[in-house]
Chains A and B, each alone.
Chain A
Amino acid sequence: MPILEAKNLTYTYSIGTPFEKTAVDHVDLEIGQGEFIGIIGHTGSGKSTLMQMMNGLLKPTEGTVLLDGKDIWEKGADRRAVRFQVGLVFQYPEYQLFEETVYKDIAFGPKNMGLDEQEIDRRVRETAEAVGLREELLQKSPYALSGGQKRRAAIAGVMAMEPRVLILDEPCAGLDPKGRMKILTQLHDYHKRTGCTVMLVSHSMEDVAKYVSKLLVLSHAKVVAFDSPSAVFADGDRLEEMGLALPQVTRIFHALRAKGITVPDEVYTVKYGAEHLLALLREGGGQC
């Protein structure tokens, strides 16, 4: 059974005003346990709205969200409990830091869950380590950290609730390449270590492609594709039409194909691409 499911999910903003806009339009999704899903789509394609419905922050205008097969908007359902299971890290999460110390801020979520001191302490220390925050930073004010550290502290704040599904909305926005890599590899490690489901929203294909097991492409409030990265990128022209840039290496391989060189069209990591090129060169490099 899928852990998280969306059925016919629709959300419309400002119903009955001139600003009415459907942000998510009849979306069906099935998210399996332990998957690492990348969600891409350009600005305004409905990514953030969809994610906020997944943990019950927004009530769908139409359709349902099922967690373990149970409707989260069912009468009497505990939405707070849902939010502990489906953790959502917002865009620019560092703006939500508020406690005196980093330690207390990371402990905010677990504390709301009603855990005991010992368990909270374990979770705070574990997640701080997972996001690469050194021990001595924990007693500092969150406002004394650097931009990248703040971001990671805020992510740790959600991770510490140990949700079964972790959703991150553009966790790398506004960071330098080094900070981006750091967060992405840490997420990858976290996913491997805990086996929990991770959903990563981004508009950078490059970032996402390397790590995810499945890609969800949104455009104009609708799901355009939901498949493995290789299958999604094989249909690259359609993505480009929607204004989504393919990873550099994929673009190169598509160009090579257009020149009549027989290379696969689903290349999306440099490593995989290099292997193919080397094999091709070994076979009979003369024609290249």
Chain B
Amino acid sequence: MVTPLDHKLLRDLWRMKGQAAAIGMVIAVGVMMLVMMTGLVTSLDETKRAYYERYRLADVFASVSRAPDSLLGRLAGIAGVASVEGRVQGGALIDLPDSALPVQAQAVSLPDRRDPRLNAVYLTDGRMIDNDKSDEILLLQAFADANSLRPGDSLTATMNGARRKFHIVGLAQSPEFLYTTAPGELLPDDARFGVIWMSNSALAAAYDMQGAFNEALLSLAHGASEPAVLDAVDRLLDSYGGTGAYPLSEQTSNRFVSEETNGLRAAATGVPPIFLAVAAFLLYIVISRMVQSERSQIGLMKAFGYTNAEVGAHYFKLVLAIAIGGALLGCLMGIAGGRAMIQVYTAYFKFPFLVFQLEPSSFVIGVGVSILSASAGGLFVLRQVFTLTPASAMRPPAPPDFSRTGRIGRSLNRILDQPSRMVLRRITRQPGRMAGSVIGIAAGMALSVAMLTLFEGFNRTIDLTFNVVDRSDVTVSFTHAAPDTTIYELKRLPGVLLVEPVRIVPAVLHSGLYSYRGAINGLTQAPRLNRAIDQGLAPIPLPKEGVTLASALADILHVRAGDTLTVEVRQGRQPVLKLPVAGIATSLLGSPAYMNLTALNRALREPNRVSGAYLSIDSNQSEAIYQTLQDMPSVAGVSLKADARNAFRTVMNQGAGAIRYVMGAVAFIITFGIVYNAARIAYAERERDLASLRVIGFTKGEAAFVLLGELGIVTLIAIPLGSMLGYYISFGVAAGFSTDLYQIPAVFHPSSYGTAAVVVIGAAVASGWLVKRDIDRADLISALKTRD
């Protein structure tokens, strides 16, 4: 049965629908963030797991120079190994008609006449290759799409020095190549790196690998010890030129996907709680003031004989209706937002299918936090209200006592008119309420500041990486470690302004329990084009001894300057080096380790060798330079900084970083919601005063001043406070968005604060305008009849 109190509840909700909607919306977006983010992370994890499982992605990868197929049986015999596949793979260069530069590619074999035991491919278009035709290939779909290639097209590629024409019969995807990066590059770029699948017999012929393999793939049995298997594989392959087996967690594509999902997970766990906390705080303030304004009605109900519990339950229901309504809306919005965002991510991560899953705990947490914070706000005030005697409701309300107001100084008194005094007295006399509004608005501003700082941080990362760290125009990589005379050849090319040698050597860095599979970048002693820089952006000269680590890498390895690292080189003689950490460099992209080129070559006992070069060129002659580079037999690949910069932008804007735009929008909604609520509450508390002013002859504008002046002052006080709060929150948000691949700094940028202030002021103006409309429409007569 619907009781009269329930009727009152429904009517009260309807009466305060504007404000209830504003509060509900703030809760809703807070809950939405939580539900959406956790749902996204769960879905991506689950989709990745299913994709890997369905296409049998290997657990261990091991490269060798050349090993006989008979060795596969011995690999399969290692304890803990479930299945083994051997394959041939090698580097290739693809000629594209539209591109002056050759494109690097990896050619991978597929077994003749059977499905691969591991690392299967997903055919998205066309058909599988016919083993009898050695010129048929499958092409990685992302690469084909980026270069407008279709099944039926042909392409020319150079493999092992021989140039051949191939027919594309199908397009494929593979969990192994979700991300493709050219050797020596950090960022994936669909257009700039291709994958070609060919029959084993054809590829083995091309690379002289008949009856042999140069890469082993292994899957592990349940409960197998990964380190033990890696050890056993290394021992077995050592004499065949093994460069060290590595687990899936270190495989390039998987590492990238994991870093991206980890970035999203960090953002999902770190950022929504901040939003929800702000929403909860706002809810507490709004509810407490709302209940306070119902004071006389509460007294009246008690006078009728309702018990404290009944009255309490009534208001509790009101609070719950708003909180639960908002939270449920937030859940729905979270599901919708998650579904929309997952489309973006599925395309970005190139998953062929999607497992959309929501995290049930996020619903429970979201709804729970909303109810708790709303209840806290309600309970705190109801406790005060319960002490009210019913009789007090029968008398005209005592006006709020302003007698303890610090008397405004005489000089100030002369300047201020009465409406200004009303504004000032309310602020000084009710500091608790004002502080609530100020902190609420400041919290909203802080969110906006943090999000804008984050946007700025992304720009800063790109700017630092491509304008300060890497100042080259072109990066050239050689097919093998070439003599440094090659550098002179490059220097002689017309239009080449500056050439700087680099030697990149794959290596595993160890320190105690921590290790990192990466590379050592050998640079000249004081490089100018690609440099290690310190926190003050000054270049760090590379000493003759030791390695200089990027701060992110130093964190991974838990080392500081002065510590010693073990470096297992995975090239040539594969020496194991003990190197001191000479310094820590600031780097926002990747986790590079720098070393003096001469020192590196000496340690490798391969003097005067380089693996590539950084070039600064005259942009007017770029086409001619590319053409010359393409024709140089020692050049394996050429990459342009402009392409790398675009690739980085893509990663930032479509990967884990994409969510920052959603969060930014949510931050603005919350900011607006807070300011609007502050204005609404202030109006609710002063409705009668304002109507009285209107009756005694104040114009609409003059009456509105009393309210909007208060809102204005509160907003102005909130802005510096919000800036300060935002400064601290921005560190947390930036850390939440930083991944192993790139770091986002919390950059103090005045424009972030200025924009956030404009957002807050804009919200205040819009809220003021909305409330002013109500002041203009206020029913003067009813305001005079009501007692409170």
Whether A and B are associated in the same complex: the answer reads no
